Amino acid sequence: MDNKDLFKTFYNDLYKSILDEYYGEIDKMIKSNNKLFIIMIIIFAIIPTICLWMILFETKNIIPLILLTIVYDISVFLFFKSNCRDNNRNLLNNIKYKILDDLLTLITAEENTSVIPDNRISKASFEKSMLFNLDKVIYNGSNYIKTKIDNKDLVLADIDIYTFVDKYKQEHYHIGSREFVRTYKLKKKKDLFKGCYIGSDTNRNNDILIQLVPHDIDEKNDNYTLIGNKIDLENSEFNKKYSVYSFDEIKARMILTLPMMEKINDLDKVIANQKMIVFKPDGRYVVFIKDMTIENILNKNLPSNRNIKKELDAIYNIYTDLSKIFEISNILNNSR
């Protein structure tokens, strides 16, 4: 389903009733919030204002009274309006994940897909890539997805990997005519990677790894664990993009055949973002795609009010970007 109009036709025919249900939830919430908003304004703004004026109407300080009531009523109005807006946003966010689940089923034909927004990939899965040094780096994650593609297990997730570095700040001060310098040591967060994690089942034991990293990564950087020796391969275009590390050069060359390197080069035609890939000898892999997150894919301006054209454009964009992630996986699955 490559054609946008074809997708929209399919989407309209198959999905319109589901969208009606989703947006029906939003409409109900908005109406409920509006009623609650009016009640709260009456209780906390209008009634207190009337009582205040009945008590203090005879006061000579009428101008301060007017200003006080205006400021108070505006503050109450903005407070409850903000609460209503947050409730609507939370509901739309929940619907966003329902749509994600639907689109994943459409792409993978897998009905048992799990979408757990607040989960992250397990430490065991992260460790199995052995690409980042967990003694030096910290990682957080979200938008955990477990599914299958071509009957093979696949895990997707957003991941944020960072460390802290020492920064020094100097403060100059004077005592009498003498100048002194005081030096402070500060910890500052340094981002190493923020993007998407794609993993075929890597939790099984297998000590041999083939690591592909951008060629400009400093092999002496102790935030990374580059396993083994650097291996030069025969594809010049591939060598411009990646450095390859492994203790087992024979296994590395068995995995990274000329056709496989061509396929990996072609990954940039699907997603141009910087990638790091870890292979195991049986073909299992982990891919880190920098600066592309599921969260950003979902934030495609899905409208909070019914607008058929805007919602179809937004969902088509979500579908297209999700499909790119699965196309990366398809290429690697079919290149062994």
Q: What is the pLDDT along the chain (336 residues), one digit of tens a residue?
A: 455 666 666 666 655 666 676 667 667 777 777 788 788 888 887 888 888 777 776 666 777 777 878 888 888 888 877 777 777 667 777 778 888 888 888 888 888 888 899 899 888 888 888 899 888 899 999 999 999 888 888 999 999 999 988 888 888 877 877 887 888 788 888 899 999 999 886 555 556 789 999 988 877 788 888 888 999 898 989 999 999 999 989 888 988 999 999 999 999 999 999 999 999 877 789 999 999 999 988 886 666 566 666 777 777 888 889 989 999 998 888 766
pLDDT at 23: 67
Q: Is residue 185 helix, strand or coil?
A: strand
Provide the phi-psi class of 258: left if phi over 0, else alpha when psi is between -120 and 50, else beta.
alpha
Nearest one of 274, 293, 130 to 213, comparing CA atoms: 274
281, amino acid identity: P
| C-beta neighbour count of 185 within 10 angstroms | 8
pLDDT of residue 1: 42
Write the DSSP symbol of residue 233.
-
Q: How much is the CA Rg of the chain, to the nearest whole Å? A: 28
pLDDT (0 to 100) of residue 243: 92
Question: What pLDDT score was predicted for residue 282?
Answer: 75
pLDDT of 155 reads 92
Beta-carbon count within 10 A of 227 CB: 18
Sign for the CA dihedral angle at 122, 128, 131, 135 comes to: positive
pLDDT at position 13 is: 61
Q: Are 276 and 214 in contact (CB under 8 A)?
A: yes
Q: In this structure, are residues 56 and 48 in contact, taking their beta carbons and an 8 Å threshold?
A: no
